[in-house]
Structure 1
Amino acid sequence: MTEQSTSPRVAIVTGAARGIGAATALRLAADGYAVAVVDLEESAGKDTVDAITAAGGRALAVGADVSDAGQVEAAVERIAAELGTPAVLVNNAGVLRDNLLFKMSESDWDTVMNVHLKGAFLMTRAVQKHMVDAGFGRVVNLSSSSAQGNRGQANYSAAKAGLQGFTKTLAIELGKFGITANAVAPGFIATDMTAATAARVGMEFEAFKQAAATQIPVNRVGVPEDVANAISFFASEASGFVSGQVLYVAGGPLD
């Protein structure tokens, strides 16, 4: 772990109880950040917090529905009070409600939009005031290769494409305050969410991963740590002249 002062910078990771969020929280802790592990239920973040503290880091589990403005404001204020001023925000919280358009309900659409897009908006709006006052900030939004379109994911694809536009606008508005905004767009990453997709299409997960790997130039599917590595760069001081970018972490170029 990099040597830090007695008051390390604070990172917030949403959806950090498992998958990409948990891997990101662990990586940022290893980079020297104190990490707020945000998930829908505070208890869900316990394993991530325990893993960070066992490795000598500092972490706090916080329960919040990122699509609820009141809960977001309360969570950010608690983090600022208990951990310190937020310097990094990773908007990772997400859900799937996959279906073909003619079968997709209004609830399927609204749930995905509220968590991915509204959640990122509310979290960033709540955190940016702290970053502006500090003259430093890093916002990293989780997009997806599905932003380019994916069968059965009209809601998810639209939300992830929207996050790219949101990212670029943040970069324009917040850059003069020392705040950068970038997006990471994973391809196939082996997580509970992709396992759910396999179940939806009626495939065993191992076979699903093997089939996906044959279409990826590096000949394997991704793991959460692959995405966490990219987020780590965007969260660092070294990335200060990189803003408004979308980095595909997908094992090869996309069409």
Structure 2
Amino acid sequence: MGVCVKLASSDYGTGEIVFYRGLLGVVLMAGAARLHGGSLKTRVAGMHFWRSIAGVAGMCFWFYALAHLPLATAVTLNYMSSVWIAVFMLGGAALLGSARVDPRLVVAVLLGFAGVALVLRPTIEQQQLWHGLVGLMSGVVAAAAYLQVGALGRAGEPEYRTVFYFSLGGALVGLVLLAASGGFHPLDLRGFALLIGNGVLATAGQLLMTRAYSTGRALVNASLQYLAIAFSFGYGVWLFDDPVTATAIAGMLLIVAAGVFASLLRVRRAVVPASDPVNTA
């Protein structure tokens, strides 16, 4: 999906890519609901609204970062979401006046931010710090969206309904961005293939992600998601001649280690009834 977005970004703006991605998701999920006799009516519209707001914002930030940064860099910054969830947990403990803060969570967060510093170093040298910060923000907002996905799963919402409302939000936000940026660009065969490919792959990914984090094992999901960084690194070198630096690779490895470690700690905390850990990809 990231490859499709990066290739399409040379001809289409972020709003346009978000719109087509959302529109295709709406069509596919509405068709899936009809085919299987499901309903799109929901009793938790507010939860879907906030999940869509956070998810679409994160998607816009990420698509922008994909357009301007090396592929693996943009993907790695987005996958900081597991570390950001750990930050939220630490912040929540501080706000509630908890005297006991798990020092292992602090270690995970520090590892993650050390990795970010290494990953962002090449962007600073190339005057791309703004693009890097946008990519980092995509992970922050994605963390909030992923927490909401878990809450929707616990509320009994089926995967297709969650993905439908997220896609609907994306299509609407895409239209607003298009209106603000001058409208649609002409579609040629290449552009059509990239935009459709992005929509199909993204919708499939959202559906699988929603299923995995609603019913699967959080630690296994969190660990497997980081394979995306390895794939994006290979695609970036192969298709875009992205630079390979030891500093960036070291940063990626630190972020992966921090994310898996933070996920492991959240899984262990799940045994305690008062905790509410959720992670997703």
TM-score (norm 1): 0.28
Instruction: Return the structure number with greater strand share.
Output: 1
Structure showing greater radius of gyration is 2
Instruction: Return the structure number with greater helix share.
Output: 2
TM-score (norm 2): 0.26
Which protein has greater RCO, CA pairs closer than 8 Å, 6+ apart? 2
